Structure formats: C-alpha cells, structure tokens
C-alpha cells in the first residue's frame, strides 16, 4: 500500500489551513486541522452546514484524547476495545480545538482511528483532524468514493488518490455520549 505521496500532500494542505478529501475507517471524509478556526469554517461553508452542528475529530492514540479532553473517564478506553464497529465518543471538556468546532456545552466528538492511512496521517500531523462526511448538508453521505459530488471534490484543496477504487460500502461510526459514572447514551447506532 503506497500512500506516501498522499500523506505528504495532505500534510502540506493541512499545515496551510486547507481542506482534504480522504478515506477514513468509516466513510470518506472532509478534513482539516481541528485547531484552525478558519479551516473549520471552510468545511461549514463547503457543506452548506450550520456551525451549530458538531463535527467529528479523529485522533491516533488514547494519549491524544487525554491531551484534548479535561479529565476523561479512562474506562471509556476499555469500552472502546469491545466496540464492534468504529465508535465516536462525545466528551465534555474539550481542550485546544478551534472554537467553532466545540459544542456550546464544551463537548467534542472524538474517534480513535484504526485505519492505517489515517493513523499515519494523524501521527505525522501531530494534531487532531476533522472528519465529516463528504456530502452537502442534508444529502446522503456517500458510501464509496465515486458517489462523492463534484461540488465536494472541487471544493477541497487535495483529494487523496489512495482507496478511490475501493468498492466496499462504508457506514458512519456509532456515536455515544460517555456519561459521568460510566453509563453510555447511544446517539447514533
């Protein structure tokens, strides 16, 4: 699997505040530096989406969650190891993210990403990356690359070549809210 050129191009775009279109452990995503408010705003504009609607952030390791969430319950990591599919967790106490990415209540949705391409990109970028489905708000999320609209493809600064021909149908992650005391509220199956 040779995606080194894609990684280098993505890093250049992310560092300059641009947008990438990239494969994740779930659906293809539109991404940017999760700490850059202007880059996050570009995604809201491209998707024609209200900035009231939260977007997911990808990180590579548990330590990244610890760095960006105030006092997370460590039991969440044990829970995630038993999850049957990629699971995004809504945490309270977001730290160090673009302000327009954090919920009004101070929450942030983070997914530990196990996809090889994403993990490489995240580890080398050394910051969380936004991942929101590659569609205009209100239209269905594309299940494979060729379903992504030209409006989205033309609206980003770099489109990853890797996995464009992958025909495996992808589904969005589960989304849960980790509550004090360790109970879970399922927000999306």
Question: Residue 24 phi/psi, 5° resolution?
Answer: -120, -170
Partners of 33 in beta bridges: 129
Per-residue pLDDT of 58-105, as tens digits, reads 999 999 999 999 999 999 999 999 999 999 999 999 999 999 999 999
Model confidence, pTM = 0.95
Q: How far apart are CA 86 and CA 72, in angstroms?
A: 19
Buried b (16+ CB within 10 A) or exposed e, 22-51: bbbbbbbbbbbbbbbeebbebbbebbebee
Average pLDDT score over residue span 172-187: 92
pLDDT at 50: 83
pLDDT at 52: 79
Per-residue pLDDT of 37-54, as tens digits, reads 999 999 999 999 887 788
Domain boundaries, the chain: 4-188
Average pLDDT score over residue span 124-144: 95
Question: CATH assignment of 4-188, given 3.30.1340.30, 3.90.110.10, 1.10.630.10, 3.90.870.10?
Answer: 3.90.870.10
pLDDT at 56: 96
């Amino acid at each position: 699997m040779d995606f080194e050129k894609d990684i280098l191009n993505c890093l250049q775009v992310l560092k300059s505040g641009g947008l990438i279109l990239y494969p994740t452990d779930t659906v293809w995503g539109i991404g940017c530096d999760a700490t850059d408010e202007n880059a996050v705003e570009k995604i809201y504009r491209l998707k024609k989406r209200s900035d009231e609607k939260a977007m997911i952030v990808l990180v590579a390791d548990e330590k990244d969650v610890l760095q960006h969430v105030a006092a997370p319950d460590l039991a969440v990591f044990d829970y995630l190891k038993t999850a049957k599919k990629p699971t995004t967790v809504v945490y309270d106490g977001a730290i160090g993210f673009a302000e327009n990415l954090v919920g009004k209540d101070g929450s942030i949705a983070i997914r530990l990403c196990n996809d090889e391409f994403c993990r490489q990109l995240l580890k080398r970028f050394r910051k969380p990356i936004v991942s929101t489905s590659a569609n205009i708000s209100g239209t269905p999320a594309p299940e494979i690359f060729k379903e992504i609209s030209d409006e989205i493809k033309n609206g980003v600064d770099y489109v990853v070549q890797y996995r464009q021909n992958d025909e495996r149908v992808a589904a969005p992650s589960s989304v849960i809210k980790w509550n004090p005391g360790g109970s879970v509220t399922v927000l999306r199956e």
